[in-house]
Amino acid sequence: MSKRPGSAVAAAALGVITLLLTVIPAGGAAAAPAGSTTTLTGTATPLIVAHRGASGYAPENTLVAADEAARLNTEWVEIDVQRTKDRKLILMHDTTLARTTNAAAVFPDRAPWNVADFTSREIARLDAGSWFGDEFVAERVPTLGQFLHRLTANGQKLLLEIKSPELYPGVERQILRVLDDAGWLEEEYPGERVVLQSFSADSVRAVHEQAPEVKTGFLGTPKVAELPAYAEFSDQIGPRYTDLTAEYVAAIQAVDGVHGEPLEVNAWTVNDGPTAARIAGLGVDGIITNFPDVVREAIGG
């Protein structure tokens, strides 16, 4: 089991604006597991999102990480998606397989073990769990389809990061197709169940253009003056928590996103109680964490 990491110091204030003292929450939501809400919207208590699954307790981006998040009553799960050589979508954070699988041992002559250089069948042979702990030796790298099936069984929801989309032309359309085929885009407004995000503004824009009904998020820290431009194709902004101030959070939420609701702020990645309490106090809408139970204990829910 991984040890809980320490907190970091907040970054300097960004810009000078009028601080909004009240954030008006969105409309009511259906009942959800303890410590979570149904949508990624402004609430008195920020939504808790399990980063790559409950990755403080299980190997990241695996089925068991989703199961661990469910065990911890965490409804929303964040993952990273990339594409294999044979154009299959899999869960993987790094653009290489080296850190979280035994690819170097199984394929010693294929360094640097780029995801895009391996077929899905080759990746399915790899051990994606023992690097984290001996009890996870049987874990494999799941496909996006397999992961969606597990989330459906668990009653969970999905915050999907399109990882390094510049390496995989057209990956946005492919992800949308897999989501649609699995029934994840059937709702009139599928943001109740799934959100697509990326550090690439072009990728987020592509999702919005191809599926305007889908909820989207831009990962990064845009300048306040740039927020209206991002709001033309985004519903959320996802800054690193160390970049946040109350003024910056309020400035983001003062701009309406592409679907007419205030832009939401999801802070990443917060892994200790004191930091979680401080970031929640800034008025963020969501906190992404490897340790959902630690954050919930700190901020309530």
Residues known to be catalytic: 51, 93
User: Would you tell me how many other CB atoms lie within 10 Å of the CB of residue 260?
Assistant: 8
**Cα torsion 93, 174, 155, 281: sign:** positive
Degrees, nearest 5: CA angle 205-52-57: 170
Q: Cβ(229)–Cβ(19) under 8 Å?
A: no
Q: How far apart are CA 225 and CA 272, in angstroms?
A: 32
CB atoms under 10 Å from CB of 152, counted, come to: 14
Query: What span, in angstroms and rounded, lies between the C-alpha atoms of 219 and 240?
Result: 8
DSSP-assigned beta bridge partners for residue 265: 237
The residue behind tokens 């109680």 is: 273
Residue 291 phi/psi, 5-degree rounding, is -125, 75
What span, in angstroms and rounded, lies between the C-alpha atoms of 71 and 63? Answer: 12
Length of the chain: 301
β-strand partners of 196? 160, 216
Q: What letter would DSSP give residue 78?
A: E
H/E element holding 50? Answer: strand 47-51
The sign of the torsion formed by the CA atoms of 68, 81, 177, 145 equals: negative
